[in-house]
Amino acid sequence: MQEKLHEEINAFPTAKLSIEHVCKDFTTSSGPVRALDDVSLNINEGEFVCFVGPSGCGKSTLLNIIAGLEKPDSGMALIDGTPITGPGRDRMVMFQEHALFPWLDVIGNVMFGLKQKPNLTDKERLEVAKYYLFLVKMDRFAHSNIHELSGGMRQRVALARSLAPNPKILLMDEPFSALDAMTRERLYGDIQDVWEKRRKTIIFVTHNVREAVCLGNRVVLFSPHPGRIREQFPVSLPRPRNINNHDLADLSQEITSALKGYTAAESD
Amino acid sequence: MKRLTNSVCFFALLILAWAILTGDFAFLGMPESLWSPYVLPPPSTVAQYLWDNTANGKIPLSMLITLRRLLIGYLIGLILGVPLGMLAARFRCVNDTLGMLALGLQALPSVCWVPLACIWFGQTEAALLFVVIMGTLWSVLLSTQNGMKNVPPIYARAARTMGSGPLHTLIFVTLPASAPFVVSGMKQGWAFAWRSLMAAEIYVSVVSGFGIGQYLHYGRELQRMYQVIGVMFIIIAVGLLADKILFSPAEAWLHRRWGTGKE
């Protein structure tokens, strides 16, 4: 059993993604809205990519398409060359609100996805779940109820829950937007740490440019109406990065003014 | 502790007042009863009645008969109500048909079914069960539907990304997520079932078993008000016990887990 556990925890699956000419429309009360307009993008194995843009720019829609929760109207998303047709265990999503299940305790939540992973005994699953709780520093709270946790702790548990089935790709949809600044800063450090330890491909959606620069290897800038990728910025600052670092601030400044340019042109 | 003392004192005083006014302490030189025992019997005769009929087995037997009817009817109501409520939450056409029917019939006190039930089923167990089911079914159905509709969609989305299919999501996500609503519906259903069964038993005599409500009915026929009041106490006690034994633990668990509610 110990060996199998080792095997499970020491496997570092990762995948590359390609988005090819994806379009997606939504019908709203004021007519159709083009959420994604001919979006193409390649993401390498083990890359940490941040999608940035104002609301309505389609960044969350693209994330949902990659997750398999939504289907593109045309074009396709491929994982390691295979088209994505629905949700799958190779891609886990961490949502913006805490989507933890209040009827389960902390460990129960982490076990939820694991229970649906075949080839493991329940005992092994429990050990795996404990490992991931330890990784996000929540092992002391395994039997706490969700409502007893702070916002930051909840998002740590949500992170453990999405890491536990050992997906190739981790999709994070504005996971820290509801947290206070102090908690967020601590989580920036932790998420970089997890990325280095688990070597996953991570796509991180945010509207906070600083956050994106702090976390990503690459920042992909979206603009709305219609949702398009405007520009991409590689970020080669040394890790672990601190959000208050000067170089980081300079780069975010640059990206923010680019963003402003696109949205100003849009509103004219 | 203080709150418990308050409650105990309150009820002790209430019974004491009743005893004094109905002449239970006349032997101590206190006044005789203000009313005839046919209007308001003293607590001593009520207690005597309860004691004698518990000792001779009549009350336990009738409670067994009544509780059996209640449980069977209630369980049938649950078994029908929960899945139908789930269907009504899931499919609009079920909501527009069965959901509307449930809404209408929930407004109807189920004792109104008694005349029809007697015509359809005769004076049988089936007639009583039917009335109990009519009392339970609709409120369970409606609260299950309401609970499922109030589940945040993000739970189902999260479950889907973790590999849950539609059935797995329904059983392991939507149903537990609506548990607070379902349990309060079950509790309301229980209260309705209990009330409707008492009404039906008072109303209909069934030869297959002499239920507790029928004792109340014959107490009235024979002008034995001590029997009527004794049976009323039993009805209250059963209702309270069911609440404490069946529902309080479940509700306490829900409150602890969800972090909702009282104290």
Beta pairing class for A201-206 and A48-52: parallel
Task: Write out pLDDT tens, residues B217-263.
Answer: 999 889 899 999 999 999 999 888 888 888 888 888 888 888 876 54
Looking at the structure, tell me whether residues B16 and B102 fall in a common domain. no
Q: Which band of pLDDT confidence, cut at 50, 70 and 90, is reported for residue A215?
A: very high
Percentage of chain B surpassing pLDDT 70? 99
Q: Which residue has the higher pLDDT, A97 or B84?
A: B84
B161 touches chain A (CB under 8 A): yes
User: Count of domains in chain B?
Assistant: 2
Instruction: Give the structural domain span for B139.
Output: 39-258
Task: Write out pLDDT tens, residues A112-141.
Answer: 989 888 888 888 899 899 999 998 889 899
**What residues in B contact A95, CB-CB < 8 Å?**
154, 157-158
A113 touches chain B (CB under 8 A): yes
Q: Where are the alpha helices (DSSP H) in chain A?
A: 2-9, 59-67, 106-114, 122-135, 151-163, 181-198, 209-215, 246-267
pLDDT at B255: 86
Looking at the structure, tell me whether residues B46 and B87 fall in a common domain. yes
Give the mean pLDDT of A254-263: 85
- Joined tokens for residue B60: 């336990």
Contacts of B212 (CB under 8 A, 6+ apart): B59, B62, B63, B65, B66, B198, B201, B231, B234, B235, B238
Q: Is residue B222 exposed (0-12), middle (13-18) or buried (19+ Cβ within 10 Å)?
A: exposed
Contact call for B155 and A99, based on CB within 8 A:
yes
CA of A132 vs chain B CAs: smallest distance (Å)? 16
Q: Which of A195, A187, A141, A188 is nearest to A163 (CA)?
A: A195
B253 touches chain A (CB under 8 A): no
Entry field: residues in chain B: 263
* B263 in any annotated domain: no
**What residues in B contact A101, CB-CB < 8 Å?**
155, 158, 173, 176-177
Q: Name the residue facing A87 among B154, B161, B256 (closest C-beta).
A: B161
Looking at the structure, tell me whether residues B117 and B142 fall in a common domain. yes
Looking at the structure, tell me whether residues B140 and B212 fall in a common domain. yes
Out of A28-42, B11-25, B41-55, B133-147, least confident range: A28-42
**What residues in B contact A113, CB-CB < 8 Å?**
162-163
CA A141/CA B150 separation, integer angstroms: 28
* B176 in any annotated domain: yes
Q: Which long-range contacts (CB under 8 A, 24 or more apart) does A25-34 make?
A: A25/A73, A26/A61, A33/A225, A33/A226, A34/A225, A34/A226, A34/A227
Which residue is closest to B156 within chain A, CA to CA? Answer: A99
Contact call for A99 and B177, based on CB within 8 A:
no
Looking at the structure, tell me whether residues B166 and B251 fall in a common domain. yes
B5 touches chain A (CB under 8 A): no
Task: Write out pLDDT tens, residues A239-255.
Answer: 888 888 888 889 999 98
Looking at the structure, tell me whether residues B170 and B216 fall in a common domain. yes
Looking at the structure, tell me whether residues B11 and B76 fall in a common domain. no
CA B259/CA B1 separation, integer angstroms: 25
Task: Write out pLDDT tens, residues B117-141.
Answer: 989 998 888 999 999 999 899 999 9
Looking at the structure, tell me whether residues B19 and B144 fall in a common domain. no
Assess whether pLDDT exceeds 60 at residue B24: yes
Q: Which band of pLDDT confidence, cut at 50, 70 and 90, is reported for residue A178?
A: confident
Average pLDDT for chain A: 88
Looking at the structure, tell me whether residues B92 and B50 fall in a common domain. yes
B48 touches chain A (CB under 8 A): no
Q: Which band of pLDDT confidence, cut at 50, 70 and 90, is reported for residue A65?
A: very high
DSSP letter assigned to residue B162: T
- Joined tokens for residue A117: 């992973």
Contact call for A69 and B160, based on CB within 8 A:
yes
Give the mean pLDDT of A222-246: 87
Contact call for A95 and B168, based on CB within 8 A:
no
Looking at the structure, tell me whether residues B1 and B90 fall in a common domain. no
Phi-psi group of A93: left, alpha or beta (phi > 0 → left; psi -120 to 50 → alpha; rest → beta): beta
Q: Domain A2-267 class? A: alpha beta
Our CA dihedral for A132, A136, A138, A139, rounded to 10 degrees, sits at: 40
pLDDT at A265: 62
Q: How many CB pairs under 8 A join A and B?
A: 64
Give the mean pLDDT of B190-216: 86
Q: Which band of pLDDT confidence, cut at 50, 70 and 90, is reported for residue A268?
A: very low
Q: Name the residue facing B257 among A97, A102, A113 (closest C-beta).
A: A102
Assess whether pLDDT exceeds 60 at residue A266: no
For chain A, what are the domain ranges? 2-267
A95 touches chain B (CB under 8 A): yes
Looking at the structure, tell me whether residues B5 and B91 fall in a common domain. no
Q: Which of A106, A178, A100, A115 is nearest to A142 (CA)?
A: A106
Give the mean pLDDT of A94-103: 86
A67 touches chain B (CB under 8 A): yes
ipTM value: 0.87
* B62 in any annotated domain: yes
Looking at the structure, tell me whether residues B185 and B63 fall in a common domain. yes
B252 touches chain A (CB under 8 A): no
